[in-house]
């Protein structure tokens, strides 16, 4: 809690759509325990489907392109990453003698918890 005068007190407020810490929270030194608790947001059908696909993909995850081809919009994948339910890493893969850039998406523990709590 930070005070800027006798009447002004600021407290960190957790955004309702977030399940876990993000890199920005950790960089700012705010742990989930320091933030005020809020009710969890329900996942949409598209988010549940994308998380279910990631949960069954194993530790290697899926490429973003495969998720999009299977019907998950890029905005849904981005929202899952922003909410801390999935992670995205970029890398290079050699295919047919050429190096191509791929984005791999993996489910996080928070994503698994959110998927289980929806059932």
Q: What whole-number distance in Å separates Cα of residue 110 and Cα of residue 19? A: 7
Q: What whole-number distance in Å separates Cα of residue 17 and Cα of residue 42? A: 9
List pLDDT tens digits, range 10-63.
444 444 444 445 555 555 554 444 444 444 568 899 999 999 999 999 888 999
Q: What whole-number distance in Å separates Cα of residue 50 and Cα of residue 71? A: 9
3-state helix, strand, coil in the chain (%, to 5): 40, 25, 40
pLDDT at 118: 72
List pLDDT tens digits, range 96-109.
999 999 999 999 99
pLDDT at 42: 81
Nearest by Cα to 50 from 16, 83, 22: 83
**Considering the domain boundaries, does residue 16 fall inside one?**
yes
pLDDT at 77: 92
pLDDT at 105: 94
Q: Which helix (H) or strand (E) holds 88?
A: strand 86-95
**Considering the domain boundaries, does residue 49 fall inside one?**
yes
pLDDT at 23: 52
pLDDT at 13: 45
Nearest by Cα to 50 from 117, 115, 118: 115
**Considering the domain boundaries, does residue 58 fall inside one?**
yes
Phi and psi at residue 105, to the nearest 5°:
-110, 130
CATH number of the domain at 88, please. 1.10.10
> Residue 87's domain spans which residues?
7-118
Considering its fold, how many domains does the chain have in total? 1
Do residues 11 and 77 touch, judged by C-beta distance below 8 A?
no
List pLDDT tens digits, range 61-93.
999 989 989 988 999 999 999 999 999 999 888
């Amino acid at each position: 809690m930070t005070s800027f005068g006798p009447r002004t007190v600021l407290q960190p407020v957790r955004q309702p759509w977030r399940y876990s810490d993000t890199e920005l929270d950790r960089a700012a030194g705010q742990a989930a325990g320091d933030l005020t608790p809020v009710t969890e947001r329900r996942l949409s059908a598209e988010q549940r489907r994308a998380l279910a696909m990631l949960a069954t993909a194993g530790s290697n995850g899926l490429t973003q392109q495969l998720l999009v081809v299977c019907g998950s919009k890029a905005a849904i994948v981005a929202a899952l990453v922003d909410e801390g339910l999935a992670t995205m890493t970029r890398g290079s893969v050699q295919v047919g003698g050429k190096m191509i850039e791929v984005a791999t998406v993996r489910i996080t523990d928070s994503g698994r918890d959110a998927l289980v709590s929806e059932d």
